[in-house]
């Protein structure tokens, strides 16, 4: 006897592009394919290039899909708390509410500056769009608190994101640890993110340069692209111990994680960055800031170390702390590897999400 699948409208950015949202949904859709719970009707928004009518086309497509598919039982919208996404996805939410389609909201990115703008000017827009959702999912207790302060009366759920476990299909932490470590082996520190000031990239470079004067056999790998790429390229030009790769994905990203020993992300603000979770999947100790979803998720001294934002000296000290205690580094590495396998896989997160969505259908 076949089981009737619940029909869900999923509005999401292009799934073929890099980024946390596409990683999240590609992983979950893969897990849901193995079950008979849901049938996803997917609308991929954006991808219109320089077409000024792109946003209008997206709204028209969503409206058309809702009206033409009378079997839809639930909608899912995936905004970030940023200017463009807030209003675009808010209009999607309004359309679903107008057509009596129950929906949930996943807030992925969260910008604190725009949060202040919403608090000052756009609470009514929030309540009349996203505020009509049956449930709202966020990545941090702080974000949950703010949404409740804005007057939302539904259920706000703090939900972890997920990682693509196919990344480690041919990876074994035990095998990696068996590789002989000598006094001349190079310890590789990885930064993998957008190269912008707010990710703490300049503080990291300064900290690494200071540390490199005291500690030999260190390499900093900076992987990614962004508006500060050329500036970073300029200031590390003559430093043979810093490698700038540009944007990487696929096998190149896997190779970078495999060869690295420590992951660092000294961001000023975050949701719950996929790169931190991916680093844990490869057993890398993590050094990061106590912001956003990391506040509750990250276990200081077990997963690595918290650092203060915009603090070059603290970055330097925490890296040195790991380098000076190889046993601690190995202990953290093993903890992260095991934790990621048990808690961050797409199967685990899909099961939790299934429970929340099933209640609404």
Supply the pLDDT for residue 44. Answer: 95
Is the per-residue pLDDT at 280 higher than 70?
Answer: yes
Instruction: Determine the 3-state secondary structure of 189 from DSSP.
Output: strand
Query: Minimal CA–CA distance to 185: which of 193, 194, 177, 173?
Result: 177
Output b/e per residue, 68-86; b: 16+ Cβ within 10 A.
eeeebbbbbbbbbbbeebb
Mean pLDDT of 143-155: 97
| DSSP assignment of 226-284 | -TTHHHHHHHTTT-TTEEEEES--HHHHHHHHHH-SEEEE--SS-S--HHHHHHHHTT-
Give the pLDDT mean for 96-120. Answer: 95
Domains and CATH numbers, the chain: 6-162+345-358 (3.40.50.11930), 165-343 (3.40.50.2000)
Q: Tens digit of pLDDT for each residue in 322-341?
A: 999 989 999 999 999 999 98
CB atoms within 10 A of CB 145: 12
pLDDT surpassing 90 at residue 271: no
Grade residue 175 by pLDDT with cuts at 50, 70 and 90. confident
Q: How large is the angle between the packed helices 312-323 and 326-343, nearest 10 degrees?
A: 100
Structure token digits, residue 294: 């990391």
Q: What is the pLDDT of residue 346?
A: 84
Q: Please, which pLDDT band fits residue 182 given cuts at 50, 70 and 90?
A: low
What does the pLDDT look like over 20-31, one tens digit per residue? 788 889 889 988
Q: Given pLDDT bands bounded at 50, 70 and 90, which one contains residue 1?
A: very low
Positive/negative CA dihedral, 107, 109, 112, 113 = negative
Please say if the pLDDT value at position 285 is more than 50: yes
Residue 184, pLDDT above cutoff 70: no
DSSP string for 111-157: -HHHHHHIIIIIHHHHHHTGGG-SEEEES-HHHHHHHHHTT--SEEE
179: left (phi over 0), alpha (psi -120 to 50) or beta: beta
Higher-confidence residue of 292 and 62: namely 62
pLDDT at residue 121 tops 50: yes
Residue 146: closest CA among 121, 116, 124, 109: 116
Beta-bridge mates of residue 188: 219
Q: Is the entire prediction scored with pTM above 0.85?
A: no
How far apart are alpha carbons 232 and 191 in whole angstroms?
Answer: 13
180 pLDDT above the threshold of 70: no
First to last CA, the chain: 20
d(CA 79, CA 106): 6
Express as a percent the part of the chain with pLDDT over 90: 70
Give the residue-averaged pLDDT of 56-80.
Answer: 95
In the DSSP assignment, the letter for residue 34 is: T
Q: What's the rounded mean pLDDT across residues 57-75?
A: 95
């Amino acid at each position: 006897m076949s089981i009737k699948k619940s029909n869900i409208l999923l509005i999401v950015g292009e799934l073929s592009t890099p980024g946390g949202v596409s990683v999240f949904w590609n992983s979950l859709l893969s897990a849901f394919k193995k079950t008979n719970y849901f049938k996803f009707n997917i609308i991929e928004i954006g991808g219109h290039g320089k077409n000024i009518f792109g946003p209008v086309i997206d709204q028209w497509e969503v409206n058309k899909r809702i009206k033409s598919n009378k079997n839809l039982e639930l909608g899912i919208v995936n905004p970030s708390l940023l200017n463009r996404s807030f209003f675009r996805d808010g209009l999607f939410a309004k359309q679903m509410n107008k057509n009596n389609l129950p929906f949930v909201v996943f807030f992925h990115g969260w910008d604190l500056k725009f949060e202040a703008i919403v608090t000052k000017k756009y609470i009514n827009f929030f309540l009349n769009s996203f505020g009509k959702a049956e449930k709202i999912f966020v990545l941090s207790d702080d974000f949950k608190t703010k949404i409740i302060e804005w007057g939302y009366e539904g259920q706000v759920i703090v939900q972890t994101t997920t990682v693509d476990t196919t990344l480690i299909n041919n990876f074994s932490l035990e095998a990696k640890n068996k590789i002989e470590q000598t006094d001349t082996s190079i310890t590789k520190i990885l930064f993998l993110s957008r190269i912008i000031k707010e990710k703490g990239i300049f503080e990291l470079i300064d900290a690494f340069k200071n540390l490199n004067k005291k500690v030999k056999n260190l390499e900093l790998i900076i992987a990614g692209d962004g508006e500060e790429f050329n500036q970073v390229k300029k200031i590390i030009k003559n430093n043979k111990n810093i490698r700038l790769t540009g944007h990487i994905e696929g096998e190149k990203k896997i190779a970078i994680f495999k060869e690295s020993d420590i992951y660092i992300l000294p961001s000023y603000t975050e949701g719950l960055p996929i790169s931190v979770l991916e680093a844990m999947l490869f057993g890398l100790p993590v050094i990061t800031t106590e912001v956003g979803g990391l506040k509750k998720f990250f276990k200081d001294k077990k997963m690595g170390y918290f650092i203060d934002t915009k603090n070059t000296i603290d970055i330097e000290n925490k890296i040195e702390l790991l380098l000076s205690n190889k046993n601690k580094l190995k202990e953290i590495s093993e903890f992260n590897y095991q934790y990621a396998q048990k808690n961050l896989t797409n199967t685990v997160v899909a099961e939790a999400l299934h429970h929340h969505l099933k209640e609404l259908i």
